[in-house]
Structure 1
Amino acid sequence: MSLFRYSGLTTKVRAMSGALLSKEDFDQISTLGNVPEVVAWLKKKPSYGKVLGNENENTMHRGQAEGRIKRSFYADFSKLYRFSNMEQRNFLDTYFRRYEITCLKNIVQAILSDSPTLADVSDYEEAFAKHSAFPLKKAASADSMETLVSVLSDTPYGDVLRKVAGSGSTTLFDYEFALDMFYFRDLWKRVRKELKKEDREAVLESVGVTIDTLNLQWIYRAKRYYGMKAADVYALIIPVHYRLNLEQVKRMAEAESTEEMLNFAKETRYGKYLQEMEKPNLERVGSMIQENVHRALMRQNPYSAACLEVYLYRKEQEVHRIITAMECVRYGLPAEKIREYLA
């Protein structure tokens, strides 16, 4: 049954995956001399030529270039959406909340900045008009958190922001963390409730591993950079346990030091990735774990919603790496150093 439902979509995903940039492409980007050269190079690639083709790379500022590059992601999302049936579109509608929250974070950041300004959401408008009921323009026009909460009162995000605003701890981190916590708890619940068995098992593996690796990263940061006590660390943990069981999370949260926390982490299902590293890098570990999981999902469950989730993850990572490379080129870093950042 899943083969019948996903054969056409899986073929489409494979074709689109063939247009993703390769390691050799990123190696070439790392040798370019400035941002206009990077934009000119990207114009020659089908995925980016459509969003950059009418722009003069010599007069575009960096923010414009990044915005256009992000549009290629939403263009790919729309392609998959058009090619999907109603059941697959329901999954994509759930997944799109990820981008609503990304946009909302930008709006909150603009409001809380030292010189508050209206957020630029022009790069989101087309995709949101097609795929979201989020009141984008009204939210972007909010000049205070009170106004933003009011605008979003009929959405789930209104309650999330209202609780932070009333907590007495209202930094950008507080708002962003609350939105991330809401997203992953909501996604986990919706996937378990709404997807059919084959789709549910495949997507829960990807989502579960993402949650586990984020919990590892947040516990590590809390210990290393902030010296948080266990009670404060628990507040940072997404209350979903996939391959990290409750006892393992408890031991890491209550560890007396970063070193002890890492030793406990090495005893988990993800420990082999840490043991292979001379210096701990939890962000890198998270990327390695997710890439391995996604590779296995596409091999074992290609005819499921995993094909959508894996492609969107890889495209999002590609866009992030392009923007990182542009920043490195802008600051004149040598090609070898840029490749290290992109590894």
Structure 2
Amino acid sequence: MSLFRYSGLSTKVKAMKGRLLSPEQFREMSDLHSVPEVLSYLKKMPSYEKVLADKDEAHLHRGAAEALVKQSLYYDFGKLYRFADLEQRVFLEDYFMRYEVIFLKNVLRYLFDSNEDRADIDLSAYQAVFERHSEMDPNVLMQAESVEGLIGLLQETIYGKTLEMVGRSGKANLFDYESALDMLFFKQLWLDARKHLKKADLQVIQRSAGLEADTLNIQWIHRAGKYYHMAPADIYEFLIPIHYRLSTSQVKQLVEAESAKDFMDVLQGTVYGRDMQEAGTAQLEGICGRLMDKVHALNLRTQPYSVACLDTYLYQKEQEVNKVIKVIECVRYGLAAERIKEYLA
């Protein structure tokens, strides 16, 4: 039955994967000398042609350029949704919360960056897909003039209540708000998966979402202690309350580690220890990313005719978009091509 249900969608996903950017194309982008050159290069790529086709790349500021690149996520989601059957659409509807969170994080970044001009940001792609899958209006949300104003616009949603709780301290920063949104997404996806998915599909999503929750918690614990000097009690508030392969006691030991060395010693005693051997905390993000790549490859290899084909493609597309934005940022600040390639490795 799974083979029959997913054969057509799997073929569609394979065709879309063929349009993802290759490592060679990223290397070519890294050799470019300006943001307009990068955007001109992307304009020739099938997956970015639609969002950039009628834009003058020479006059796009950073925020507008990044928003256009991220629109390709929403276009691809729409393509998969139109091709999916009713049961597959249930999963995609649940998953769309991730894209709501991505959009809200963008708005928050604009609000925290007073130098960012939002006037020229094209929201047409967001508008079309949000009208179908969300109760939020991107154009209205983008007009918020403060975090408090954004929370007011979201008052009737689960996001509004969550962000309001974070803001009550009076000391909340961007990291706090983004962490709360991520936590909310994973809690909800975990619950929705158990409610809506059958056994094989549930196993796939619990494996990928569980690992991502673990790896994000590991990175947040490290950052919270090293960069924000947060007390353990405060760190616990921002952790995703999902323990996939980290036990409650191991999370407690990581949170309460007194030094970076103690943190790594605890981490190497967990199921992720083998992957962390000889790694320093500066390499955590890259290692966690490689673990995510592995679990999606495993899901697709062991359950090719399942929700894995959707989950893996959407993950890969999001990673691609993040890398494209990283290239844009690096080129904008004049980093050498070899340094950019190191960042992308």
TM range (shorter): over 0.9
TM-score normalized with structure 2 length = 0.92
Offset from partner CA, 1:127-162 (integer Å, 9 cap, x none): 212322223333333334444333323221121122
Offset from partner CA, 1:32-56 (integer Å, 9 cap, x none): 2222222222222111122222223
Matches within 5 A, 1:286-297: 286-297=288-299
Offset from partner CA, 1:305-337 (integer Å, 9 cap, x none): 111111011101101111111222222222211
Offset from partner CA, 1:210-250 (integer Å, 9 cap, x none): 00001110111123223433323222321110011112111
* Distance (Å, rounded) in 2 between the aligned partners of 1:21 and 1:114: 33
TM-score normalized with structure 1 length = 0.92
Who is 2:187 aligned against?
185
Q: Structure 2: any 5+ residue segments left out of the alignment? A: none
Give 1:63 shift. Answer: 3.0
Checking the alignment, whether the CA contact within 8 Å between 2:176 and 2:238 is kept in structure 1 is no
Give 1:58 shift. Answer: 2.9
Identity %: 49
**Aligned-residue RMSD, C-alpha:** 2.2
**CA 1:36/1:168 → structure 2, altered by over 3 Å: closer, same or farther?**
closer
**CA 1:185/1:164 → structure 2, altered by over 3 Å: closer, same or farther?**
same
Checking the alignment, whether the CA contact within 8 Å between 2:63 and 2:117 is kept in structure 1 is no
Point out the more displaced range, 111-120 or 175-184: 111-120
Who is 1:329 aligned against?
331
Checking the alignment, whether the CA contact within 8 Å between 1:111 and 1:117 is kept in structure 2 is no
Give 1:11 shift. Answer: 1.0
Give 1:113 shift. Answer: 5.0
Who is 1:141 aligned against?
143
Checking the alignment, whether the CA contact within 8 Å between 2:19 and 2:46 is kept in structure 1 is yes
Who is 1:30 aligned against?
30
SS at match of 2:19: coil
* Distance (Å, rounded) in 2 between the aligned partners of 1:225 and 1:19: 38
Who is 2:11 aligned against?
11
Give the aligned residue type for 2:84.
S
Give the aligned residue type for 2:211.
V
* Distance (Å, rounded) in 2 between the aligned partners of 1:234 and 1:279: 20
Give the aligned residue type for 2:28.
Q
Matches within 5 A, 1:1-343: 1-114=1-114, 120=121, 122=123, 124-277=126-279, 280-343=282-345
Checking the alignment, whether the CA contact within 8 Å between 1:208 and 1:241 is kept in structure 2 is yes
**CA 1:335/1:136 → structure 2, altered by over 3 Å: closer, same or farther?**
closer
Give the aligned residue type for 1:290.
M
Point out the more displaced range, 8-17 or 171-180: 171-180
Offset from partner CA, 1:98-143 (integer Å, 9 cap, x none): 1112222333344455579878572522221232222333333333
* Distance (Å, rounded) in 1 between the aligned partners of 2:136 and 2:166: 20
**CA 1:62/1:222 → structure 2, altered by over 3 Å: closer, same or farther?**
closer
Give the aligned residue type for 1:20.
L
* Distance (Å, rounded) in 1 between the aligned partners of 2:320 and 2:228: 31
